[in-house]
């Protein structure tokens, strides 16, 4: 079986991932709801994961996919910690808008 | 490698101690353990080996920096005793997190594979998020944690993207392989882009302009000990790692091959100058000491970035600078911890009259601030000297002049604090002389001065 | 025995003073300062006997920085100035009660240590370190034990610190640059040997100039001076004006001129003119000062302007006159500030308009004060005359107009000093009682006056001491 | 150069890729734009599924499964759980100042343009992609690599998770104050 | 040689010893003892001088004493040394001689002052410095004395230091002297630069042997001019003369010693000493002559209307000094020296006499409140009368010979200057006799109280007066026209053939006659105005017209104030208030700017995560596009 990239082209994957990554960035900047911001970050990470896999195929090398596992672990850990922080903020503040987090400034 | 294993083991022991209900022993044990690790680390000094399929590469660079991290961690753990007095149930967690953080740091300077680098930086970051937010009932701490977390994971995403592009270009995560490939003429553009993205992510971690905005807010909001950790250990780890990343991946030569070197240097110069200037100028008007030190840290990041102009030769200078900066920072923060123990904030007003109530601590804080300002005999001066020396040697005299101007500005705010200590009347009683705080403060400032008197001790390690 | 002994004595003295407690501190400090004086005299004897009293030890290998102290005549003369003034200054403070005296006296000794080091250092970096170190004690002395409104004082002192530091940091850059050219060495001999292009020399020269112009100070870099002199405790003012200013002038001769001789020659006239305009400006501003210490500050500005101008003539006479005048001015200015302090102890004011009519109450003090005033206006027979004459003579050799303009200090100096003397000491008997000088006060003043008069008639020992080293420096300057 | 897919002669794989890419991007956008967090979460799940589709397309079956389990299964549940726990709904929707939105859009456009331009400008990959034909991404191979070559990172990841665990516990553990 | 050194040291150091004793022990020794010590100290110097005079006039060789090297300058060596030759010993004779008399006088005069020991110590110090000035072997030693006497003058003018006006006068004297001193210094610099020496004998050698290039001649001229400025300061010539009248604030013996007999002649001494320099600068000599003439005229005119007895004498001094400079300007050094000596006699006598009057009137100095003292103070009157006759040029008194020689010299060189000098002489006669008539004739115009206490002064006062009056009467004998002992004595000093003896021809005799007539005319006018018509000068506010201008000294003081003092003070204020503040603000400005930026920057650091990330992304875009797109 031939390389699937012969039919799609690695560039297309790169473009897709870049767009997806940028959508993640956009989401982080666009939304004020902390949960959605988290989700946007997840989108960014997933974009990278996808690119890893694409490159893995490109190089016919499994390391890229192995790396995705680590990246998933990291994402999971981050989400867990992030949500924990979020929950304690919600308890103290009653809101999860990051716009309300402006006490520290200047 | 052994160091890393030992540190991890030590962290797990800390957790076990809690289970075994042996809280009181945690800190002494950890300190002893860390001293042991330090000794172990010294044993590895001088060898250049790689372990486990080149996942970990032990070199002089990694061992010296690891030793610095370990020393800093010892101080930070020692300070924990007093700081977490009121949280006895959590102390093992706090200490364990710090130990794991150290493990992350050690992994970062001794990585042989980008996977280790990435995991190391994530361990470090996540530990820091947790520590920043660790005062769960304090809104400021929450806010600091949240800010740091959001921006940190954003930066992590960028680093990951960069790693991905590097992988795409090289087909490998192995440092040795990448550094070999990077010298070849035909390189996909992905590699430099990936490197730049990773660099940007790391610049965020060391709080360089324009990626510095988080630092003052997070430093201010976090519990003071965490701030101490961030401004010393975390910053040093990040800058060392970035240095290692750029030097060991042969990034500079590869840029040279593609005629990107001058632009990259311009970027470094720009960021370095901007960091110094923004950090110093912003620090001028700060009332909160931690916030002020955050800006000071930003400016120091700018100074440290100057070493990147002479990557091939400046490892020793970077080590010296980071050591000088971190030791002064530890000394300063131990005094801050003492002074602001029961205060709601860390405003300069809290330091009024410290020269009269606690002359020793005031002297130590003064010394550490003078060191950061670069006044001779303290190692901060020699750090700057060597840095300027390197940079002038590389022909970047303009940067040095800007740096000098910034040193002058920095005196303005460092002396604000000194003035407050000596020229104002004390506005509060300060009782108690916690042994560990005094010990840490004195030892760290003594080390700082010894480094100043005998700079060759450290400088020659990496030259 | 070599020159490092003095440094060790002073450093140990500083610590010993700190740990001896508030009561004993003044005496311990005096003891150690006298020991340092004794030591420096012994060293002088050894030096005159032809013994080598220099030290050189490797310190940092990369870049090459050495712990090198050079005991030549010039350095020794300045060390003697420091060592001689230091006990006088410490002794002069005995009439005052200081809070936390141990810190105060320890800082004085530490400052003496740093200043002595500056005068002795033969390695660019070591020199720089001592140079900066001297700044810290005076900062604290002025800040903590100073007088006047705290906020004002803070402002003045911080300005002083930052300003002087700003200047010296550029000097550091210059040193680093030089050491690159000298293959990484900071040793003075190596720096002397460095071959620089004219453009490089100019920049190096300017970098040094900034540091020294602020320290000395040369107009327009003098704005820190008057305020700091006014706010600092008198001991601090004495240290500043008596010794620390001389650091800048000494450095011009020792470092700036030999390292960048081409630039010095090329732009000689500009710098001489700057120095001389300082003379005129300082004198004129001094005329209308209301505060004694400020007036003396501006008079200092005028005098050091002249000394600086003489140094930039690059002639043996100029350098010699500059050094002589430095020493003379060091003594006289310390004496004058001490006199101001004696008045302050009795009247609690430094405002000239609140004084007057002291002479009829305390003739001894009035006489001593007058002698100091006259020495300061360089009456022949005082040491200052020897210095000022040589200085003006050297200026006249460059351009007679320099001597004429610089010589205006003779007129203007007499004008403001006598005006001050008249307003402070003469006139109707003051209703406030003024006790004549005490024994302690008298000793300090008499020592100073004795020195001024003795060397006024017999300056040969000092001239002989400094001339060989100045000739060496001139050889370096004129090597190409 | 962007290969404009020739729809007339598109292969199945190409059509599939386009379809999945479309879904991914659209749902990603919808995640961000929908006002209700729960909707966002659901869009995100769809997005993750489409990414899993990509994985499958790239013949990384194991990864696809793990992806679905971890993201759609664990992480998204965590999100949803938190959303429910906080009882968030549109009422909590905060006002977004226009300047923020403008800034977000500007920076989005900027970064997309910059990155895409760079990649377009770069040398195109010419020629066929290698296909050694070797098995490089089966579970077996992955397992071998993960547990041999990448043993240390694997173990190290556990520390990461441990830290995260301790951290979350630390953040949520109540303590008796001032005993 | 050893002997000479010792003698010279005794000469110099005895007054200094007297000074030290009076300073440290004076108060405990008591007034009379301290006065005696002071007097004896100077008297010893006088005796030593006599010994030296004897030695020198017999051998005719100068004595050179070098003590030790003083100041090292690369191309010139300056020793602390003494030169005792004809000129210096001559000068010493009247310095120490008149000095001793005045010391003696002061014992009585100052007896009521509580600080008498101080007075004597200052006087001794003055004598010490004056001797140093005179016997220095080089210009720099002269300069020690030069400034030293200035200092003593300062101290003594301001002796009554509780009065700020006196202090002002003292300060003024010192500062004006210093202006001259700067000139002297500059002159020295130029000489040192040109000839590599400041030693008189070496200088003379060099100048006489050097090859005259235009540059060197030019240098000499400039140097001479500068030195003359120095002399102007010390000897109260235009434009630096205004301090001398004010200096009358000091006690009268001081005026007699310092401001009439000795110190003010230092300028003439210096010019005479350096005659070989001035001889080469003919232009400068012309300047000297002109300035001397103008000074003598201006001072004489002012003297016409003064009412303060000492002020009259002060202006007279200035005027006489002007005449001396007139002579110097014509290279007639020996003539000038002659007049210095006669002037020292009669002017010291006049001052001491006026002191006696003031003493008798308990401090009254205004002539309008005197009169008729002839009977009460006969000795004072007669001694002063003799001196007045001498100064007016009445034949066969000393002043007649010296003044006549000056005028004659002037006549030979420049008629206009001769005319000016003659007019000044006539005025001198007038105001001197105005003084005499107002003071000693007619009725007493003071208070009853004063009248009651009128008495002749004690013998300590009158003896010096008598001695000086005798000298004033017969001092002219040392240089009679045609047969001048003085000229012979001084001849070795001068390079030119000393004073080509004026042949006493018809011209000379007629000139003499003119001078005598002029003097008598002045006396006559004074007689008519103040004796016959019984005029008394009006009180201050009624003075009008030209006499007001004269009375106010041509407003020179005011002009100097407006021209120099006020601008300097204004400048000082301007510098202090604007430049200093401005510079200070400039330095602080850097801090202010940084602070302002910081304040603005704090607003950027708004706490909003969105903003932070926005900047992050922008920064990232910028970096990436700079590296990869901006090629």
- Residues in chain B closer than 8 A to A41 (CB atoms): 150, 153-154, 157
- Are residues D94 and A33, on separate chains, in Cβ contact within 8 Å? yes
What is the signed CA dihedral for E501, E503, E509, E514, rounded to 10 degrees? -50
Nearest to E616 among B211, B260, B284 (CB): B211
CA distance D9 to chain B (A): 29
Q: How far is residue A53's CA from residue A65's CA, in Å, rounded to a whole number?
A: 6
- Model pLDDT, residue B159: 95
Looking at the complex, report in whole angstroms how far the Cα of residue C132 sits from the nearest Cα belonging to chain B: 6
- Are A98 and E617 inside 8 Å of each other by CB? no
Share of chain A above pLDDT 90, in %: 50
Convert B127-137 to b/e letters by CB count within 10 Å (16 or more is b): bbbbbbbbbbe
Distance CA B38, CA B67 (A): 6
Min Cα separation E598/chain A (Å) = 9
- With cut-offs at 50, 70 and 90, classify the pLDDT of residue E1: low
Instruction: Return the pLDDT at D131.
Output: 67
Residues from chain D that touch E610, judged by Cβ atoms under 8 A, are 100, 103-104
Q: Which residues of B touch E593 (CB under 8 A)?
A: none
Sign of CA dihedral E202, E203, E206, E209: negative
**Contact across the interface for D171 and B136, Cβ inside 8 Å:** yes
Residue B264 forms part of a structural domain: no
pLDDT of residue E366: 79
* Residue A60's CATH number: 1.10.287.3510
From CA B292, how far away is CA B336, in angstroms rounded?
A: 12
pLDDT of residue E557: 82
Q: How far is E625 from chain A (nearest CA, A)?
A: 15
The pLDDT of residue D93: 55
Query: Is E590 within 8 Å of B167 (Cβ atoms)?
Result: no
- pLDDT digits over C349-359, tens only? 888 888 888 88
In the prediction, which pLDDT does C354 show? Answer: 86
Residue C48 Rama label (left phi>0; alpha psi -120 to 50; beta): alpha
The answer as to whether B269 is a domain residue is no
| D5, closest residue in chain A (CA to CA) | A8
pTM listed for this prediction: 0.91
Find chain B residues with C-beta within 8 A of D151's C-beta. Answer: 52-53, 55
pLDDT band of residue D6 (cuts 50, 70, 90) is low
- pLDDT tens figures, E464-486: 888 888 888 888 888 777 777 88
For chain D, domains (ranges, CATH) are 1-94 (1.20.120.1200), 136-179 (no CATH)
Kindly report, residue by residue over D112-155, the tens digit of the pLDDT: 888 888 888 877 666 666 666 677 778 888 888 888 889 999 99
Q: How confident is the model at residue C207 (pLDDT cuts 50, 70, 90)?
A: very high
DSSP E496: S
Contacts for A92 with CB less than 8 Å, ≥ 6 apart: B137, B139, B142
Nearest chain B alpha carbon to D126: B188
From D149, D167, D176, residue closest to B130, measured CB to CB: D167
Taking CB atoms and an 8 Å limit, are B103 and D153 in contact across chains?
no
Q: How far apart are CA C329 and CA C378, in angstroms?
A: 10
- CA of B355 to nearest chain C CA: how many angstroms apart? 10
- Give the whole-number percent of chain A exceeding pLDDT 70: 97
For E217-273, what is each residue's pLDDT tens digit?
888 888 888 989 888 888 888 888 888 888 888 888 888 888 888 888 888 898 888
Give the per-residue pLDDT at A1. 46
Write down which chains contact chain C via at least 3 CB pairs under 8 A.
B, E
Task: List pLDDT tens digits, range E486-528.
Answer: 888 887 777 765 445 556 677 778 888 888 888 888 888 888 8
> Which residue of chain E comes nearest to B191, CA vs CA?
E628
Mutating which of E9, E153, E567, E576 best tests the C interface, going by the most C Cβ atoms within 10 A?
A: E576
Two tokens, residue E219: 């240098």
State whether B147 and B254 are in the same domain: yes
What the block records as the tokens of B454 is 């005998």
Domain that holds residue A72: 10-96
Residue A106 lies in a domain: no
Type and span of the H or E element at C159: helix C150-181
Q: How far apart are CA C409 and CA E146, in angstroms?
A: 18
Record: contact B89-D119, CB cut-off 8 A: no
Please give the residue of chain B at the shortest CA–CA distance from C181: B393
Contact flag D171-B93 (C-beta cutoff 8 Å): no
Q: Would you call C161 and B411 a contact, using CB atoms and an 8 Å cutoff? A: yes
Chain A residues inside the 8 Å CB shell of E613:
28-29
C10-55 pLDDT, tens digit each: 999 999 999 998 888 899 999 999 999 999 999 999 998 888 888 8
**Among the partner residues C287, C289, C403, nearest to E189 by beta-carbon distance:** C403
Peptide bond preceding B210: is omega within 30 degrees of 0, i.e. cis?
yes
Looking at the structure, tell me whether residues B19 and B83 fall in a common domain: yes
C185 pLDDT more than 80: yes
CB atoms closer than 10 angstroms to residue C6:
30
Minimum-distance CB partner of E587 among C223, C281, C412: C223
Cβ-proximal residues to D52 (8 Å cutoff; 6+ apart), any chain: D64, D65, D67, D68, D72
Q: Is the peptide bond before C220 cis (omega within 30 degrees of 0)?
A: yes
Residue E112 — pLDDT band, cuts 50, 70, 90?
Answer: confident
Q: Is there a domain that residue B268 lies in?
A: no
Statement: residue C142 has pLDDT above 70: yes
Helix axes C316-347, C73-92, angle to 10 degrees: 10
The answer on pLDDT for E302 being more than 70 is yes
**What pLDDT, on the 0 to 100 scale, is given for residue B203?**
95
Give chain E's mean pLDDT: 84
Residue A5 domain-assigned? no
E621 interface with D at CB cutoff 8 Å: yes
CB A64 within 8 Å of CB D145: no
Of the residues D122, D124, D155, D160, the best mutation for testing chain B's interface (the one with the most B CB atoms within 10 Å of its CB) is D160
* Contact list, E621 vs chain D (CB under 8 Å): 107, 110-111, 114
Tell me whether residues A70 and B119 touch, CB distance under 8 A.
yes
> Can you give the pLDDT at residue E375?
80
CA distance C337 to C330: 11
Q: Is B265 part of any domain?
A: no
Q: Indicate whether B251 and B305 sit together in one domain.
A: no
Q: CA-based diameter of chain A, in Å?
A: 60
Q: Domain end: B205, B227, B259, which one? A: B259
Selecting from B151, B196, B216 the residue whose C-beta is nearest the C-beta of E627 gives B196
- Find, in chain C, the residue whose alpha carbon is nearest to that of B360: C103
Which among E605, E609, E617 has the least Cβ separation from residue A106? E605
Looking at residue B146, its pLDDT comes to: 93
Mean pLDDT of the region C163-179: 90
pLDDT in tens, C109-118: 999 999 999 9
Domain range for B16: 1-259
CB contact under 8 A, C422 and E168: yes
3-state secondary structure of E136: strand
Q: Tell me which long-range contacts C318-321 makes (C-beta under 8 A, separation of at least 24).
A: C318/C391, C318/C394, C318/C395, C319/C253, C319/C470, C319/C473, C319/C474, C320/C390, C320/C463, C320/C466, C320/C467, C320/C470, C320/E72, C320/E73, C321/C387, C321/C388, C321/C389, C321/C390, C321/C391, C321/C392, C321/C393, C321/C394
B119: nearest CB among D160, D173, D179? D160
Do residues D132 and A72 touch, judged by C-beta distance below 8 A? no
pLDDT digits (tens, 9 = 90+) for C315-373: 998 999 999 999 999 999 999 999 988 888 888 888 888 888 888 888 888 889 999 99
Whether chains D and C touch (3+ CB pairs under 8 A) is answered by no
In a shared domain, residues B397 and B449? yes
Residues 6+ apart with CB under 8 A from A11: D1, D2, D3, D119, D124, D125
DSSP assignment of C49-94: TT----EEEEEETTTBEEEEE---HHHHHHHHHHHHHHHHHHHHGG
The tokens of C326 are what?
A: 């430095």
What pLDDT, on a 0 to 100 scale, did the predictor assign at position E530?
79
Q: What is the pLDDT of residue E496?
A: 63
Q: How many alpha carbons fall within 13 Å on the CB side of residue C369? A: 26
Average pLDDT, chain B: 91
Assigned token pair, A74: 């990291």
Q: Taking CB atoms and an 8 Å cutoff, what residues of chain D touch E625? A: 114
C277 touches E: beta carbon within 8 Å: no
More confident residue, E208 or C392: C392
Instruction: Indicate whether D91 pLDDT > 60.
Output: no
Parts of chain B with a pLDDT under 70: none
Determine the pLDDT at residue D127: 61
CA distance C420 to E419: 46
Diameter of chain B measured on Cα atoms? 69
Identify the H or E element spanning B327: helix B315-339
Q: Quickly list H helices, E158-249.
A: 164-195, 200-209, 214-234, 243-246
Q: Is the peptide bond before E239 cis (omega within 30 degrees of 0)?
A: yes
To the nearest whole angstrom, how far is the Cα of E589 from the nearest Cα of chain A?
23
* B386 contacts in chain C (CB < 8 Å): 63
Distance from CA of C407 to the nearest CA of E (A): 6
- Please check whether residue B3 lies inside any domain of the structure: yes
Determine the Cα–Cα distance for residues D178 and D173; give it in Å rounded to an integer: 15
Q: How far apart are CA C177 and CA C181, in angstroms?
A: 7
pLDDT number for residue C358: 85
A97, burial (CB in 10 Å: exposed 0-12, middle 13-18, buried 19+)? middle
What whole-number distance in Å separates Cα of residue B16 and Cα of residue D35? 46
Say which residues have a Cβ less than 8 Å from residue C285's Cβ, sequence separation at least 6: C298, C301, E572, E575, E576, E579, E580
Residue to substitute from B370, B371, B385, interface C, most C β-carbons within 10 A: B385
Q: What is the largest CA-CA distance in chain E?
A: 117
What is chain C's mean pLDDT, rounded?
Answer: 89
Among chain A residues, the shortest Cα distance to E604 is held by A106
Q: What is the pLDDT of residue D1?
A: 42
User: Which residues in chain E are contacts of D118 at CB distance < 8 A?
Assistant: 624, 628-629
Do C and A touch, 3+ Cβ pairs within 8 Å? The answer is no
Kindly tell me if the per-residue pLDDT of D178 is higher than 60. no
| Interchain proximity E610–D121, CB inside 8 Å | no
Find the angle CA(C282)-CA(C285)-CA(C289) to the nearest 5 degrees. Answer: 125
Q: How many domains does chain A have?
A: 1
Instruction: Tell if the CB–CB gap between B415 and C165 is shorter than 8 Å.
Output: no
Q: pLDDT over 70 for what percent of chain C? A: 100
Interface of E with B in 552-591 (CB under 8 A): 591
Whether residue D89 lies within 8 A of chain E, CB to CB, comes out as no
Q: Is residue B274 part of a domain?
A: no
Whether the CB of E605 is below 8 Å from some CB of chain B: the reply is yes
Chain-chain contact of D150 with B87 (C-beta, under 8 angstroms): no
pLDDT (mean) for A1-21 = 81
Taking contacts as CB-CB distances below 8 angstroms, the residues of chain E near D115 are: 624
Residue whose entry in the numeric block shows the structure tokens 């001019």: E225
Interface confidence, given as ipTM, is 0.92
Q: What is the pLDDT of residues E48-62, one digit of tens each?
A: 888 888 888 888 788
Give the nearest partner residue to E575 out of C284, C400, C429, using CB atoms: C284
Whether B225 and B355 map to the same domain: the answer is no
Mean pLDDT score, E61-67: 84
Backbone angles phi, psi at B111, to 5 degrees: -70, 145
- The total domain count for chain B is 2
């Amino acid at each position: 079986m031939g390389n699937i990239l012969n039919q799609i082209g690695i560039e297309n994957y790169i473009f897709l991932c870049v767009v997806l990554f940028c959508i993640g960035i956009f989401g982080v900047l666009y939304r004020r709801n902390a949960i959605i911001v988290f989700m946007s970050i997840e989108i960014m990470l997933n974009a990278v994961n996808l690119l890893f896999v694409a490159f893995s195929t490109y190089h016919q090398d499994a390391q890229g996919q192995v790396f995705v596992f680590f990246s998933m672990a990291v994402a999971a850990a981050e989400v867990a910690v992030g949500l924990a922080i979020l929950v304690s903020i919600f308890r103290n503040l009653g809101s999860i808008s990051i716009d309300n987090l402006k006490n520290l400034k200047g | 490698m052994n160091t890393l294993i030992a540190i991890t083991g030590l962290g797990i022991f800390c957790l076990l101690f809690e289970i075994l209900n042996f809280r009181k022993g945690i800190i002494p044990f950890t300190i002893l353990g860390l001293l042991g690790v330090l000794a172990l680390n010294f044993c590895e000094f001088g060898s250049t080996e790689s372990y486990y399929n080149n996942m970990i590469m032990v070199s002089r660079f990694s061992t010296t920096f690891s030793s610095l991290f370990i020393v800093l961690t010892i101080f930070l753990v020692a300070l924990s005793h007093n700081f977490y007095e009121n949280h006895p149930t959590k102390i093992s967690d706090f200490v364990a997190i710090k130990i794991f953080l150290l493990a992350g740091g050690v992994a970062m300077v001794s990585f042989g594979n980008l996977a280790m680098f990435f995991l190391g930086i994530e361990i470090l970051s996540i530990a820091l998020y947790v520590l920043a937010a660790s005062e769960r009932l304090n809104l400021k701490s929450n806010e600091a944690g949240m800010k740091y977390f959001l921006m940190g994971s954003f930066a992590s995403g960028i680093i990951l993207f960069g790693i991905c592009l590097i992988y795409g270009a090289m087909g490998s995560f192995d440092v040795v392989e990448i550094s070999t490939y990077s010298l070849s003429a035909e390189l996909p553009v992905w590699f430099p882009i990936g490197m730049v993205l990773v660099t940007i992510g790391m610049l965020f971690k060391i709080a360089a302009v324009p990626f510095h905005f988080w630092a003052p807010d997070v430093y201010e909001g976090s519990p003071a000990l965490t701030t101490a950790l961030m401004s010393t250990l975390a910053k040093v780890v990040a800058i060392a790692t970035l240095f290692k990343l750029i030097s060991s991946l042969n990034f500079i030569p590869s840029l040279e091959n593609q005629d990107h070197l001058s632009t990259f240097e311009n970027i470094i110069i720009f960021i370095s100058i901007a960091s110094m200037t923004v950090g110093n100028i912003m620090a001028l008007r700060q009332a909160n000491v931690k916030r002020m030190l955050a800006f000071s840290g930003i400016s120091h990041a700018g100074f440290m970035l100057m070493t990147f102009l002479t990557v091939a030769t400046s490892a020793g200078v970077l080590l010296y600078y980071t050591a000088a900066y971190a030791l002064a920072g530890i000394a300063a923060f131990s005094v801050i911890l003492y002074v602001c123990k029961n205060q709601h904030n860390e405003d300069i007003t809290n330091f009024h009259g410290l020269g009269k109530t606690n002359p020793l601590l005031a002297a130590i804080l003064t010394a550490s601030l003078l060191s950061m300002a670069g006044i001779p005999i303290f190692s901060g001066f020699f750090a700057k000297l060597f840095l300027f020396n390197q940079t002038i040697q590389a022909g970047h005299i303009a940067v040095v002049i800007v740096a000098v101007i910034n040193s002058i500005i920095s005196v303005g705010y460092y002396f604000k604090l000194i003035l407050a200590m000596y020229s104002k009347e004390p506005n509060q009683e300060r009782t108690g002389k916690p042994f560990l705080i005094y010990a840490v403060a004195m030892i760290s400032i003594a080390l700082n001065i010894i480094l100043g008197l005998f700079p060759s001790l450290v400088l020659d390690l990496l030259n | 025995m070599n020159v490092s002994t003095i440094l060790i004595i002073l450093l140990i003295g500083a610590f010993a003073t700190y740990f001896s407690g508030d009561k004993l501190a003044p005496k311990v400090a005096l003891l150690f300062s006298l020991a340092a004086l004794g030591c420096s005299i012994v060293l002088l004897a050894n030096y005159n006997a032809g013994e080598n009293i220099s030290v050189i030890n490797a310190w940092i290998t990369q870049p090459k920085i050495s712990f090198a102290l050079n005991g030549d005549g010039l350095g020794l003369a300045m060390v003697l100035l420091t060592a001689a003034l230091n006990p006088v200054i410490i002794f002069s403070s005995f009439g005052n009660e200081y809070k936390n005296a141990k810190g105060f006296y320890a800082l004085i000794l530490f400052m003496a240590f740093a200043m002595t080091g500056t005068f002795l250092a033969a390695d660019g970096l070591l020199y720089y370190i001592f140079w900066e170190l001297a700044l810290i004690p005076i900062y604290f002395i002025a800040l903590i034990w100073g007088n006047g409104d705290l906020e004002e004082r803070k402002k003045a002192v911080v300005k002083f610190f930052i300003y002087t530091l700003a200047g010296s940091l550029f000097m550091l850059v210059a040193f680093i640059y030089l050491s690159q050219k000298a293959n990484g060495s900071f040793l003075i001999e190596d720096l002397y040997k460095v071959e620089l292009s004219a453009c490089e020399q100019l920049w190096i020269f300017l970098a040094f100039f900034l540091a020294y112009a602020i320290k000395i100070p040369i107009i327009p870099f003098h704005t820190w001076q008057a305020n700091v002199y006014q706010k600092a405790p008198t001991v601090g003012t004495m240290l500043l004006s008596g010794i620390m200013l001389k650091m800048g002038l000494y450095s011009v001769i020792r470092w700036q001129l030999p390292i960048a001789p081409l630039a010095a020659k090329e732009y000689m006239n500009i710098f001489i003119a700057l120095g001389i305009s300082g003379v005129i400006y300082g004198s004129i501003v001094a005329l209308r000062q209301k505060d004694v210490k400020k007036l003396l500050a501006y008079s200092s500005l005028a005098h050091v302007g002249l000394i600086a101008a003489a140094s930039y003539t690059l002639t043996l006479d100029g350098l010699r006159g500059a050094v002589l005048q430095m020493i003379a001015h060091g003594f006289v200015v310390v004496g004058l500030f001490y006199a101001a302090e004696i008045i302050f102890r009795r009247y609690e004011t430094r405002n000239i308009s609140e004084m007057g009519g002291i002479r009829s109450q305390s003739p001894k003090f009035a006489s001593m004060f007058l002698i100091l005033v006259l020495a300061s206006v360089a009456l022949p027979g005082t040491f200052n005359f020897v210095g000022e004459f040589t200085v003006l003579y050297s200026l006249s050799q460059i351009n007679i107009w320099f001597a004429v303009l610089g010589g205006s200090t003779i007129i203007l100096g007499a004008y403001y000093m006598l005006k001050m003397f008249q307003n402070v000491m003469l006139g109707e008997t003051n209703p406030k009682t003024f006790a004549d000088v005490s024994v302690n006060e008298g000793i300090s003043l008499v020592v100073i006056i004795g020195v001024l008069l003795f060397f006024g008639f017999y300056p040969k020992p000092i001239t002989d001491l400094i001339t060989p080293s100045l000739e060496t420096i001139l050889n370096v300057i004129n090597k190409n | 150069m962007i290969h404009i897919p020739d729809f007339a002669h598109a292969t199945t794989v190409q059509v599939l890729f386009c379809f999945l890419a479309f879904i991914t991007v659209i749902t990603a956008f919808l995640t961000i734009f929908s006002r209700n967090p729960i909707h966002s979460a659901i869009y995100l799940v769809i997005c993750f599924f489409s990414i899993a589709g990509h994985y499958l397309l790239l013949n990384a079956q194991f990864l696809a499964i793990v992806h679905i389990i971890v993201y759609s299964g664990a992480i998204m549940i965590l999100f949803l759980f938190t959303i429910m726990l906080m009882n968030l709904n549109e009422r909590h929707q905060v006002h977004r100042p226009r300047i923020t939105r403008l800034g977000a859009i500007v920076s989005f456009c900027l970064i997309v343009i910059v990155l895409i331009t760079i990649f377009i400008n770069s040398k195109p990959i010419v020629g066929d992609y290698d296909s050694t034909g070797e098995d490089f991404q089966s579970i077996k191979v992955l397992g071998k690599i993960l547990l041999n070559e990448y043993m240390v990172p694997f173990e190290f990841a556990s520390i990461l998770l441990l830290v995260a665990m301790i951290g979350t516990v630390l953040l949520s553990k109540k303590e008796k104050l001032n005993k | 040689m050893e002997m000479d050194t010792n003698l010279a040291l005794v000469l110099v150091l005895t007054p200094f010893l007297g000074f030290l004793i009076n300073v440290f022990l004076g108060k405990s020794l008591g007034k009379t003892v301290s006065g005696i010590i002071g007097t004896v100290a100077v008297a010893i110097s006088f005796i030593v001088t006599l010994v030296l005079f004897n030695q020198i006039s017999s051998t005719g060789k100068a004595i050179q004493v070098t003590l030790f090297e003083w100041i090292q300058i690369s191309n010139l060596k300056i020793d602390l040394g003494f030169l005792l030759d004809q000129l210096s010993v001559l000068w010493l004779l009247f310095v120490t001689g008149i000095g001793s008399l005045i010391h003696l006088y002061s014992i009585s005069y100052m007896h009521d002052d509580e600080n008498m020991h101080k007075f004597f110590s200052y006087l001794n110090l003055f004598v010490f410095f004056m001797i140093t000035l005179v016997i220095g072997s080089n210009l720099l030693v002269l300069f020690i004395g030069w400034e030293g006497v200035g200092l003593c003058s300062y101290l003594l003018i301001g002796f009554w230091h509780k009065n700020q006006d006196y202090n002002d006068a003292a300060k003024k004297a010192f500062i004006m002297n210093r202006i001259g001193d700067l000139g002297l210094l500059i002159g020295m610099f130029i000489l040192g630069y040109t000839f590599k020496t400041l030693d008189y004998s070496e200088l003379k050698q060099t100048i006489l042997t050097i090859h005259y290039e235009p540059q060197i001649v030019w240098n000499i001229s400039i140097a001479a001019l500068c030195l003359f400025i120095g002399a102007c300061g010390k000897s109260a010539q235009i434009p630096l003369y205004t301090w001398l009248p004010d200096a009358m604030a000091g006690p009268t013996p001081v005026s007699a010693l310092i401001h009439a007999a000795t110190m003010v002649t230092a300028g003439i001494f210096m010019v005479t000493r350096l005659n070989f320099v001035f001889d080469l600068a003919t232009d400068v000599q012309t300047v000297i002559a002109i300035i001397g003439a103008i000074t003598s005229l201006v001072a004489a005119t002012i003297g016409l209307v003064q009412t303060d007895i000492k002020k009259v004498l002060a202006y007279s001094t200035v005027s006489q000094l002007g005449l001396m400079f007139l002579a110097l300007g014509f290279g007639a050094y020996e003539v000038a020296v002659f007049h210095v000596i006669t002037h020292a006699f009669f002017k010291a006598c006049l001052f001491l006499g006026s002191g006696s009057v003031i003493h008798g009137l308990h401090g009254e100095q205004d002539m309008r409140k005197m009169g008729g003292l002839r009977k009460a103070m006969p000795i004072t009157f007669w001694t002063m009368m003799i001196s007045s006759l001498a100064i007016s040029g009445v034949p066969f008194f000393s002043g007649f010979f010296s003044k006549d020689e000056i005028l004659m010299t002037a006549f030979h060189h420049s008629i206009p200057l001769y005319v000016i000098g003659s007019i000044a002489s006539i005025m001198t006669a007038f105001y001197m006799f105005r003084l005499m008539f107002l003071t000693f004739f007619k009725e007493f115009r003071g208070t009853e109280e004063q009248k009651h206490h009128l008495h002749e002064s004690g013998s300590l006062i009158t003896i010096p007066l008598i001695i000086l009056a005798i000298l004033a009467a017969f001092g002219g004998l040392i240089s009679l026209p045609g047969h001048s002992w003085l000229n012979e004595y001084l001849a070795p000093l001068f390079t030119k053939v000393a004073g080509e003896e004026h042949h006493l021809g018809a011209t000379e005799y007629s000139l003499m006659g003119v001078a005598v007539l002029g003097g008598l005319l002045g006396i006559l006018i004074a007689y008519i105005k103040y004796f016959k018509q019984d005029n008394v000068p009006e009180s201050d506010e009624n003075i009008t017209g030209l006499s007001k201008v004269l009375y106010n000294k041509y407003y020179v003081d005011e002009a100097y104030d407006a021209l120099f003092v006020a601008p300097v003070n204004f400048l000082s204020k301007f510098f202090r208030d604007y430049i200093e503040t401005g510079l200070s603000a400039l330095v602080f400005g850097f801090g202010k700017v940084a602070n302002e930026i910081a304040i603005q920057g704090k607003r950027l650091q708004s706490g909003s995560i969105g903003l932070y990330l926005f900047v992050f992304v922008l920064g990232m875009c910028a970096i990436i596009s700079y590296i990869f797109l901006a090629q």
